[in-house]
Amino acid sequence: MRLTTKDIHDQVAELGIRLGFHPTREVADSILRLRLDDAYRPRIDLMWSLPLDEPKQRALSRVLGREMADVTHLPIVGIEIEGTTPSTKEMASDVANLAALGAPLGLLIVSEEGEPHIYRRAARMVRTVRRSFGDLRVLPMEAGWLSDLVSRPWPTALATLPPQRSKAPAGGESLDWSQATRRLLREAGEAAGFVVAEPFTPGILEATYSWAAEHRSGGLRHTVEPMAGRQQAIAKAGEYLTACEIDLAWLMPLPVALGAFLAAVEKLDPCHREHGLLFSEVWTHCAVVAFELESSTGKHAGGGLLNLASYGVLGVAVTPNLQTEQRLAATLRTYQPTLGLRNVFVRSLP
């Protein structure tokens, strides 16, 4: 029996429930609205979200300086569904909508029953958009997989995060202020029920290095003496990618079922991993807010803005006073038209 678009919507919603999420069709009550203005608010077909309780709402309101009482959910997976015969440009718009909303993961679900060979067209389009616009975390999926995925038994627990270590302040911070501010952020995050990582190094970097080393037949090399033209093998992730160590982050554990679901998708289409689109093992937690502490507004602080945009659902550059906040906010406004950074805020604390 051929699946209708409504059938696909219903199956996706049911799968979200079985994986431990709250499925919804709106962004109005979600944390993602903070990154959108009134010019255009894309409506995606479905989101899988986790609830934000009152202590988390209060903590977010405090560090963002915004009212959060009606922000009740944290979207984790945004989903666009094409059950018929969309054009490639329509699917590219689906990917753009998912990226604009800023959910950590996006799914573009298409149906081979609706149009033969649409899956390969969707996958090719996703690869092409990523080539132009960077590491957008959007996966193509086939609607025909859903019946089996919905019927599987999925684990019900949340992922267990290992104990987080603390580290002394680094560059870009003045010691007295940063110690007090780190303490404030650490205590506020823990009191709200977040897992506080200090510092926070995104797991995707290690996974990307391992993937690149695995798929490069001759091994990974880098040039270590450019004048002499000497190269040597890359031996660890820190030699391949910058660690992007973020000063502090508030994490939420994700359902174990999400990682299991993504591992199942990797088996259904091994090319997702081969092309570097998906690393199921890193989906154990979500950095709800990433913090960089900046007492100055030079290039160091500008680089911190890029880290925040890349590795937190929301990012907050924390400054010691209003003058520094205003200067760094000007840098942020300069970067936004070219690099996005719509999820980044600048705040002076405490």
pLDDT in tens, 157-211: 999 877 666 665 555 555 788 889 999 999 999 999 999 999 998 989 899 988 8
Q: Give the separation between CA 138 and CA 77, rounded to whole angstroms.
A: 9
Question: For residues 244 and 205, is the Cβ–Cβ distance under 8 A?
Answer: yes
Strand partners, 158: 255
Element (H, E) at 50: strand 46-51
Q: What is the DSSP-derived secondary structure letter of residue 342?
A: T
Question: For residues 82 and 46, is the Cβ–Cβ distance under 8 A?
Answer: no
Q: How confident is the model at residue 348 (pLDDT cuts 50, 70, 90)?
A: very high
Question: For residues 42 and 101, is the Cβ–Cβ distance under 8 A?
Answer: yes
Question: For residues 278 and 262, is the Cβ–Cβ distance under 8 A?
Answer: yes
Please state whether the peptide bond connecting residue 162 to the residue before it is cis, i.e. omega within 30 degrees of 0.
no
Q: How confident is the model at residue 59 (pLDDT cuts 50, 70, 90)?
A: very high
User: Does residue 277 carry a pLDDT above 60?
Assistant: yes
In order of start, what are the domains of the chain with their CATH numbers?
Answer: 5-151 (3.40.1350), 175-200+245-348 (no CATH)
Average predicted confidence (pLDDT) for the chain: 88
Q: Please tell me the least confidently modeled range out of 41-50, 82-91, 113-122.
A: 41-50
Burial 221-243 (b: 16+ CB within 10 A, else e): eeeeeeeeeeeeebeebeebeee
Q: Which pair of structure tokens corresponds to residue 345?
A: 């805020």
Question: For residues 5 and 115, is the Cβ–Cβ distance under 8 A?
Answer: no
Q: What are phi and psi of 168, to 5 degrees?
A: -65, 155
Higher pLDDT, 309 or 43: 309
Q: How confident is the model at residue 10 (pLDDT cuts 50, 70, 90)?
A: very high
Q: Give the separation between CA 262 and CA 350, rounded to whole angstroms.
A: 40
* pLDDT tens-digit readout, 98-110: 888 888 999 999 9
* pLDDT tens-digit readout, 11-58: 999 999 999 999 987 665 567 766 665 555 667 889 999 999 999 999
Question: Quick one: three-class SS letters along 21-73?
Answer: CEEECCCCCEHHHHHCCCCCCCCCCEEEEEECCHHHHHHHHHHHCCCCCCCCE
pLDDT at 163: 66
Q: Give the separation between CA 129 and CA 106, rounded to whole angstroms.
A: 14
pLDDT at 268: 96
pLDDT at 177: 86
pLDDT at 349: 85
Instruction: Quickly list DSSP for 235-290.
Output: -SHHHHS----BSEEEEEEPBHHHHHHHHHHHHH-THHHHTTS--GGGTTEEEEEE
Which candidate, 242, 245, 247, 63, places its Cα nearest to that of 169? 247
pLDDT at 315: 94
Burial 137-152 (b: 16+ CB within 10 A, else e): bbbbbbbebbeebbee
Q: How confident is the model at residue 299 (pLDDT cuts 50, 70, 90)?
A: confident
* pLDDT tens-digit readout, 225-261: 998 999 999 998 888 888 788 999 999 999 999 999 9
pLDDT at 40: 56
Q: How confident is the model at residue 302 (pLDDT cuts 50, 70, 90)?
A: confident
pLDDT at 215: 81
pTM above 0.85, yes or no: yes
